[in-house]
Structure 1
Amino acid sequence: MKRFSSRPERSRPDQRRAPQRAWLKDERPPLPEGEASSHAPEAPADDLLWGRHATQAVLEAGRPIHRIWCTSELRSAPRFLQLLREAKASGVLVEEVTWARLGQLTGGAVHQGIALQTASAETFDLPSLIEGCATLGEAPLLLALDGLTDPHNLGAIVRSAEALGAHGVVLPQRRSAGLTGSVAKVAAGALEHLPVARVVNLNRSLETLKDAGYRVIGLAEEGGVTLAEADLDGPLVVVTGSEGDGLSLLTRRHCDQLIRIPLRGVTPSLNASVATAMCLYEVARRGWMKDLRGQAPSPPITRPRLNHEQAQPEQLDEQGAEERPEEPALVAAATEAPGLQLDLERPTGCDPESDNSDFQSSVEL
């Protein structure tokens, strides 16, 4: 018995799909032998830096550099061309490579056409940082980071701290991100200007800072006072914890005061780097910013006087760290492919896209 109509039932189309044609499949022809391995991104070595801001800051700061890789586009940037010429004149090997090669070298990072192999960033001990800050002529502002393992957060904090006038960072040797290329890229050059003290025990270091006259405040959502109410005068240490766990219980006990940032929306918390930047801005607003009006320039920052001869190169964390080989395997792999050594005598006004034939002829193979 037909329920809705007396019309003859139409034959249903065949629901079976025809076999999928080979040319519709999302398949790509295999790469030539050796191509996949030569351009596949790998984890970058710890002594590599990339990105224009980070590498320019390193080149200008005079940190020892072992090798530079860059693309032809760097020739159209006069400042970079001059820095590359100076590096080559000092004996640094400068090689021109493709964007794909740089991508492999930096682990697929946004390299902006340049990477370099450099000596580790210099760090100081805590007494040297305290002594250097004693000569500032203004109230020192330091950051202490508790269990911050995300390199992007660390890089963002370093960038904000340097820009807003902090005088240094206290970083534990364990359970903390190191001063890697990822940190330097996010910091956008700030790492070359902000002193970093590596310490074995953060809480003992906080006690040392207290003995030197610093007040220690910690950022925590259960803080007893808001950021607007907090006393931010005098020599100050701002302690920030990790996003997941925040400040450890022992670190909270070593803080003179816990401060919270009130939130109005449904989002329960802020990114660690954002919360730190907000606190640093409040310190600056009450300090060097209070007399600024309109387009008046900011006062120049006073840097701690530090003995760079006593600085120590950044070391890998002891916990779970592997010894770094003398020549990183990734760097060695990158140099196995045919490379181009730059002829840096080419005029700065040349466009590598418009006169590629002349450009290629000016390169030393």
Structure 2
Amino acid sequence: MTRSAKPPSARLPRGPHRGRKPAGRFADPADAGPLRLYGLHTVEAAFRNPARRRHRLYATENALRRLTERDIAPDVPVEILPPRKLDQMVGRDAVHQGVVLEADPLPAYGAEDLSRARMVLALDQVTDPHNVGAILRSAVALGADAVVTTERHAPEEGPVLAKSASGALDMIRHVRVKNMARFVGEMRAAGFRAVALDSAGPARLEDTELGDRVLLVLGSEGKGVRQGVREACDALARLDMPGEIASLNVSNAAVLSLYIVRQALFRGTATGS
């Protein structure tokens, strides 16, 4: 059963997409093909994001009603399906919550799209989509302007990453770069102070000079930030843990470091600001 589409919701996402056309270059659907995004928060955020090209919504009656209650009026054809049919589309282990949206990948953003940013988080070869999804959520919650990952040794935009991000993928710019060290250099040239987290950093992050625009670089668990990327940064800093466990996983480290940087930037406590 297919329902006629209603006009899209007037509400727009928080963050960089609000009120203007997306500046990024759209991925070619012929290359990547449409994605199947699932989960209520993920699909809701995709409908609120004007940069997301949507094609078709598959939903149960109950899930469609829940989207409507959240002020989502689908602007694409809607096909009502039973849960078992949705299971077949995305897999029985996928927690789809009764909704699957076919949509194109998001625009491919680059350093040139971050000219107005103040706080950017870069992940150097963090490969677990669940970790990256959790980091995207934290980045949105703490007001970061973008999350940067490498094109290789990082999760592709896809249903697992999108579901793990619980909507955050459509609320923040996700920049993918070929060479992280080169990207760090470009951001420094644009006026950012680049700080890499390292357990052997000479100073705590709280005591590190940050300036008024910060690129925070985190590495993968185990390897950390690669040497070439560390060398491209202005400073190394550490997170000191007062308890018996001295280290955090990368998603928790991202939360804490973003909070510290945000406090410094937006309360005027950054050294040298």
- What range is the shorter-chain TM-score in? 0.7 to 0.9
Shift of 1:209: 1.1
Amino acid at match of 1:243: E
Among residues 260, 263, 273, which one is paired with 2:251 in the alignment?
Answer: 273
Shift of 1:94: 1.6
Q: Could you tell me which residue of structure 1 aligns to residue 130 of structure 2?
A: 152
Secondary structure of 2:152's counterpart equals coil
Shift of 1:228: 2.4
Q: Is the 8 A contact 1:56 1:80 kept in 2?
A: no
Q: Could you tell me which residue of structure 2 aligns to residue 123 of structure 1?
A: 108
Q: Is the 8 A contact 2:120 2:146 kept in 1?
A: yes
Query: Which structure 1 residue ranges, 4+ long, deviate > 4 Å from structure 2?
Result: none
Q: Could you tell me which residue of structure 1 aligns to residue 145 of structure 2?
A: 167
Where structure 2 has 5 or more consecutive residues not aligned to the other structure, the ranges are: 1-32
Q: Is the 8 A contact 1:74 1:80 kept in 2?
A: no
Secondary structure of 1:159's counterpart equals helix
Q: Do residues 187 (structure 1) and 165 (structure 2) align?
A: yes
Shift of 1:286: 2.8
Shift in alpha-carbon separation, 1:276–1:230, aligned structure 2, 3 A: same
Among residues 209, 217, 223, which one is paired with 1:239 in the alignment?
Answer: 217
Listed as ranges, the matches of 1:257-336 within 5 Å are 257-288=235-266
Q: Is the 8 A contact 2:212 2:265 kept in 1?
A: no
Say which structure is richer in strand.
2
Q: Could you tell me which residue of structure 1 aligns to residue 45 of structure 2?
A: 57
Q: Take 1:82 and 1:240, find their aligned partners in 2: how far apart are those partners? A: 37
Where structure 1 has 5 or more consecutive residues not aligned to the other structure, the ranges are: 1-44, 134-139, 292-365
Q: Could you tell me which residue of structure 2 aligns to residue 94 of structure 1?
A: 78
Q: Take 1:98 and 1:207, find their aligned partners in 2: how far apart are those partners? A: 51
Shift of 1:160: 1.0
Q: Take 1:100 and 1:210, find their aligned partners in 2: how far apart are those partners? A: 51
Summarize deviations over 1:239-272 as a string: whole Å, max 9, x none: 0111131111111111221111112344342110
Among residues 25, 47, 62, which one is paired with 1:73 in the alignment?
Answer: 62
Listed as ranges, the matches of 1:32-47 within 5 Å are 47=35
Shift of 1:81: 8.0
Q: Is the 8 A contact 1:71 1:96 kept in 2?
A: yes
Secondary structure of 2:149's counterpart equals strand
Shift of 1:73: 1.3
Q: Could you tell me which residue of structure 1 aligns to residue 88 of structure 2?
A: 104
How many residues were matched structurally? 235
Shift of 1:112: 1.4
Q: Is the 8 A contact 1:155 1:185 kept in 2?
A: yes
Q: Is the 8 A contact 1:129 1:197 kept in 2?
A: no
Among residues 156, 163, 175, which one is paired with 1:178 in the alignment?
Answer: 156
Shift of 1:202: 0.9
